[in-house]
Amino acid sequence: MKLKVCGLSNPIEVKTCVSINIDYCGFILNYPKSHRFISLDKAKELTKVNKGNSKFVGVLVEPSELELDYFSKLNLDYFQLYGSYSLDKLIKIKKKFEKKIISAVQIKNKEDIYKYKSIESESDIILWDSSGYEESLSWDYNWLRSITVKVEKMIAGNITIDKLQNLKGLADTVDVSGALETNKVKDINKIKNFTAEVKKINHAN
């Protein structure tokens, strides 16, 4: 089980994640409704942190071509895209901006799980997430048990430390944000404790 910490907003959070080998560090780049949103200048600052073995992810909600262009200049490994994308559009984005793609599939009901099929071939990671953008909502993660994909599976949506054991084997990566916050601010101790639990589960297997 790998871990993505999303919604990072200051250097100490990023440096902490890198120091404990978090797999993916996520930054909310164009969605001001989220309390985790950061400005372009802040994004430039944070993505200049030495990322070590971590991968940097720019989270984008229906970005314009102009947004894709200037965010592509950041030190990012992935674009995480929310919205409706055709295979042709994903191909063009990957080719033009030279970023890997995390395609987000938002879940309201079980049928939504299968939306990945239309974009799987041009996605590097499929992320199944809740239908809420700025808030963490729960959905039935067990719907993923029957899903087999050729790419990495990532799961998000109100994932808390007590749920980790049950998520083992469901997805390659868990994507966490709210569970790592205190009063809507990332809590370094929560990040460390969550990471330790993931490592413990991995070690046991």
pLDDT at 79 over 70: yes
Stated as kind and residue range, the H or E segment containing 95 is helix 87-97
**2/133: higher pLDDT:** 2
Closest CA to 62 of 30, 98, 105: 30
According to DSSP, the residues that pair with 58 across neighbouring strands are 27, 79
Say what the pTM is.
Answer: 0.95
CA distance 171 to 155: 6
Burial class, 58, CB count within 10 angstroms (exposed 0-12 / middle 13-18 / buried 19+) = buried
pLDDT confidence band for 134 (50 / 70 / 90): low
**137/7: higher pLDDT:** 7
Please give the pLDDT value at position 40: 96
In the chain the domains, ranked by start, together with CATH numbers, are 2-204 (3.20.20.70)
Parallel/antiparallel/unpaired status of strands 2-5 and 173-176? parallel
pLDDT at 138 over 80: no
pLDDT at 13 over 80: yes
Query: pLDDT tens digits for 94-118?
Result: 999 999 999 999 998 999 999 999 9
Mean pLDDT of 129-156: 84
Mean pLDDT of 37-59: 97
Side chain identity, residue 198: V
pLDDT confidence band for 132 (50 / 70 / 90): low
Please give the share of the chain, as a percent, with pLDDT higher than 70.
97
pLDDT at 53 over 60: yes
Please give the pLDDT value at position 136: 57
CA distance 135 to 157: 9
pLDDT at 133 over 80: no
